Amino acid sequence: MSLLNFSIFHPVLMLSAFIGTADGYYHNRMDECVYSTSDYSDMVYLLSYSFNKAVELQYNSTVGKFVGFTEFGVKRAERLNKDQARLQQLKAQVDTFCRHNAQILDSAVRDETVLPKVKLSSVKQAEGNHPAVLMCSAYDFYPEQIKVSWLRDGKLMTSEVTSTMKMADGDWYYQIHSELEYTPTSGEKVSCVVEHASSTQPIVKDWNPSMPESERNKITIGSSGLVLGIIIAAAGLIYYKKKSSGRILVPN
């Protein structure tokens, strides 16, 4: 998987041009390239003409002709669609404009990407009729386009998922958090899947419910305390030996 689905990262390349005003009104032209696969096989070229922010005429490469959205736009589309040479030139824009610029942009993104740090944790244990809640957090990644999803025994989960907006850390990096509500069952496999341009493969974190997080935290804290105790004891022993070696024994 190369840069995953570009529907996540670069769904639209846009070039907008202001083409005139009259008595406070203005016209605008916009070229767009829409795609959702890394090989650009579904690339679509759109050419839109707007009047006062309302689209009145659009060319779509998948349709192969202009379509009008206003009375004036319909009449203009009928006239433009008679020019077959013009329609062929616009269809060629899928390769000459869209794919060309998409490759340049995607290469630039790959050069600047930073892999997200992913953490999977328990927010709430299941109690009675209340479901359990897991949180999947992705930190310190760039660029901001990212996708976080959940799998339960390999099946995508959607209705039980809530996610925050991507949040800027203020240091060019971003973070996002996603929660899953579910009722645990024995032997199931729950996974958080993070897809980002910095990795050619999804980052998958599997949840291990065999030990409650509170117990894991107790073990972690206990282990840390044990290590700290050993360090303090060793330091005390070294200090005692140094003090003892400096003493002079005087017989009574």
Cα dist from 15 to 22, 59, 91, 230, whole Å: 22, 15, 17, 65
How many residues does the structure list for the chain?
Answer: 252
- Which of the listed residues 207, 228, 244 is the one where a domain comes to its end? 207
Q: Report yes or no: 180 and 134 within 8 Å, Cβ to Cβ.
A: yes
Q: Is residue 59 part of a domain?
A: yes
Q: Report yes or no: 31 and 97 within 8 Å, Cβ to Cβ.
A: yes
Rounded distance between C-alpha atoms, residue 62 and residue 78, angstroms: 18
Are both 124 and 193 inside the same structural domain? yes
Give, for all 252 residues of the chain, the pLDDT tens digit.
Answer: 333 333 334 445 656 555 555 566 778 889 999 887 778 888 999 999 998 888 999 999 999 999 999 999 999 999 999 999 999 999 999 999 999 888 887 777 667 789 999 999 998 888 878 889 999 999 999 888 899 999 999 999 888 898 888 888 878 899 999 999 988 888 889 999 999 988 889 999 999 876 555 544 554 455 455 556 667 766 666 665 666 655 544 444
Rounded distance between C-alpha atoms, residue 79 and residue 86, angstroms: 11
Rounded distance between C-alpha atoms, residue 110 and residue 2, angstroms: 10
Q: Is residue 1 part of a domain?
A: no
Rounded distance between C-alpha atoms, residue 188 and residue 191, angstroms: 10
Q: Burial-class residue 160 by CB neighbours within 10 Å (0-12, 13-18, 19+).
A: middle
- CA 29, distance to chain mean position in Å, is 30
**pTM score:** 0.48
Are both 133 and 106 inside the same structural domain? no
Q: Is residue 203 part of a domain?
A: yes
Are both 69 and 32 inside the same structural domain? yes
Burial call 68-98: b when 16+ CB within 10 Å, e when fewer = bbeeebeebbeebbeeeeebeebeebbeebb
Q: Single out the residue of 137, 190, 205, 138 nearest to residue 160, CA to CA.
A: 190
Are both 15 and 107 inside the same structural domain? yes
CATH number at residue 60: 3.10.320.10
**In the chain, how many domains are there?**
2
Structural domain that includes position 195: 117-207
